């Protein structure tokens, strides 16, 4: 009986590890460089078609831009289509690779607390960097006029004490199919965790058919992801061309201070992760960056932490010495609830738009921004562009006109790529940290 749990951990990672070889090949083929070239070409083409140059009529430029963005929209829809079955299969199979329920309980509590704490740190860093650099003060005439009275911050609608039990019960998917249709990722993850724990509690011969089915489902998802990766350079080209066609290159250049502020905050968050690796885990930061380089480049290229899950799992196991029972639980969970880069970006964007509109955020409003960023990041899909959707909710809560999002849409593609790399970094750091805390570390070459 003692050897039974070890069988899944040796058998079930194979589909993910098989695809991770293909994803590693994309890095060797310099997919990230192709994406950067596509981004640059998109800026050039969009500028020629946009209002800054005026070679074509605005309506014609918009029409051409919409068609150029078709590969990008196809890429986004493909990733969004496959992310829910991929998360279900990965979380359940990761849980069944665990040694026992007690370890599973401890691991789950610790990793969730780690993700929540680091997300709060990221949002606070974003507010601090935004207030220090003041990127919104450098804008000249790009603000969209706001309606009268819209600039006054409003109190956020936080649940009352008597509503907390109802809110907690709402996390459980009464109808899992509805949660999948509506994209309620946190409910989908909770459902997957319950199914995984039930399978761990069952006799191995009873659980095997379901695990084989999930094995096939995961392979199907990974095949679709492989197809989507071929579109990444064309997707970035088309989306950048469309956005530049709409806003114009001059407006994008006016956003340089905002972009640099977000990137500075993300670099600070990377420094926090490296400190955790050095001081808590005892792992050399430079060695960590070198070993995780491939997966970070791929995350930057695809803007989706879900798409790079196979390579993240392989990197955690082969390079960082993490057991499959830890990596296959932490990585899919992190792809769903660990959105540190996204939380930091939302905080900087909130400060930036508040400065553009001349809104002075109080300390209470800033605390609300941190709480909203943490709460909204948990359960958001690990797909490109989701940060903009969450940002609209954060802005409305603190009284900033959501229409200001139009100012930052043009550079969101660049920042989405950068913050995804930070999100994946957090997943890998969490994997190694949980491996240390579990007390069963694999031998490594430190």
All structural domains of the chain with their residue ranges: 6-438
CB 43 within 8 A of CB 247: no
Which of 391, 282, 351, 345 is closest to 119 using CA atoms? 345
Burial of 279 (0-12, 13-18, 19+ CB in 10 A): exposed
Q: What 3-state class would DSSP assign to 384?
A: coil
Which of 223, 226, 218, 320 is closest to 8 using CA atoms? 218
Which of 234, 270, 22, 235 is closest to 125 using CA atoms? 270
Q: What is the CATH number of domain 6-438?
A: 1.10.3860.10
DSSP for residue 202:
S
Report pLDDT for 376: 60
- ∠ CA(123), CA(125), CA(126), 5° rounding? 65
Q: Is the pTM value of this prediction over 0.95?
A: no
Q: What's the rounded Cα separation, in Å, for the pair 290 and 319? A: 10
Residue carrying structure tokens 């603000």: 143
Task: Tell me which residues of the chain have a pLDDT lower than 50.
Answer: 1-15, 140-159, 379, 381, 441-446
CB 345 within 8 A of CB 369: no
Report pLDDT for 425: 93
Report pLDDT for 264: 94
Q: What's the rounded Cα separation, in Å, for the pair 122 and 373? A: 9
Q: What's the rounded Cα separation, in Å, for the pair 109 and 302? A: 30
């Amino acid at each position: 009986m003692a050897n039974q749990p070890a069988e899944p951990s040796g058998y079930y990672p194979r589909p993910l590890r098989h695809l991770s070889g293909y994803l590693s090949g994309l890095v060797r083929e310099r997919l990230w460089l192709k994406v950067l070239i596509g981004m640059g070409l998109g800026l050039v083409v969009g500028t020629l078609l946009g209002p800054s140059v005026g070679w074509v009529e605005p309506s014609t430029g918009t029409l051409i831009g919409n068609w150029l963005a078709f590969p990008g929209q196809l890429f986004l829809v493909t990733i969004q289509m496959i992310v829910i079955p991929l998360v279900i299969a990965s979380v359940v199979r990761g849980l069944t690779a665990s040694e026992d329920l007690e370890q599973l309980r401890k691991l789950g509590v610790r990793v969730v607390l780690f993700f929540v704490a680091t997300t709060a740190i990221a949002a606070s860093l974003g507010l601090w960097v935004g207030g220090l650099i003041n990127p919104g003060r450098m804008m000249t005439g790009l603000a969209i006029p706001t309606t009268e009275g819209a600039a006054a911050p409003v109190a956020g609608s936080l649940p009352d004490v008597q509503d907390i039990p109802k809110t907690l019960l709402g996390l459980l998917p009464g109808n899992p199919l509805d949660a999948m249709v509506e994209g309620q990722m946190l409910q989908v993850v909770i459902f997957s965790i319950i199914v995984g724990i039930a399978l761990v509690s069952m006799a191995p011969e009873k659980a095997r058919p379901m695990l084989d089915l999930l094995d096939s489902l995961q392979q199907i998802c990974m095949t679709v992801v492989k197809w989507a990766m071929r579109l990444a350079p064309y997707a970035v080209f088309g989306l950048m061309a469309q956005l530049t066609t709409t806003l114009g290159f001059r407006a994008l250049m006016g956003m340089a201070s905002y972009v640099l502020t977000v990137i500075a905050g993300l670099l600070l968050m990377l420094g926090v992760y490296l400190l955790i690796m050095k001081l808590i885990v005892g792992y050399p930061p430079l060695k960590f960056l070198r070993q995780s380089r491939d997966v970070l480049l791929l995350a930057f290229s695809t803007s989706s932490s879900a798409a790079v899950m196979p390579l993240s799992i392989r990197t955690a196991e082969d390079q960082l010495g993490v057991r499959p029972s830890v990596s296959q639980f932490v990585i899919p969970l992190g792809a769903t609830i660990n959105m540190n880069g996204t939380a930091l970006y939302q905080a900087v964007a909130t400060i930036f738009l508040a400065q553009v509109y001349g809104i002075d955020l109080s300390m209470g409003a800033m605390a609300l921004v941190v709480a909203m960023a943490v709460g909204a990041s948990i359960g958001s899909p690990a797909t490109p562009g989701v940060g903009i959707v969450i940002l609209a909710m954060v802005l409305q809560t603190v009284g900033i006109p959501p229409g200001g999002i139009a100012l930052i849409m043009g550079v969101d593609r660049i920042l989405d790529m950068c913050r995804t790399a930070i999100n994946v970094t957090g997943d890998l750091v969490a994997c190694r940290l949980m491996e240390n805390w579990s007390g069963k570390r694999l031998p490594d070459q430190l």
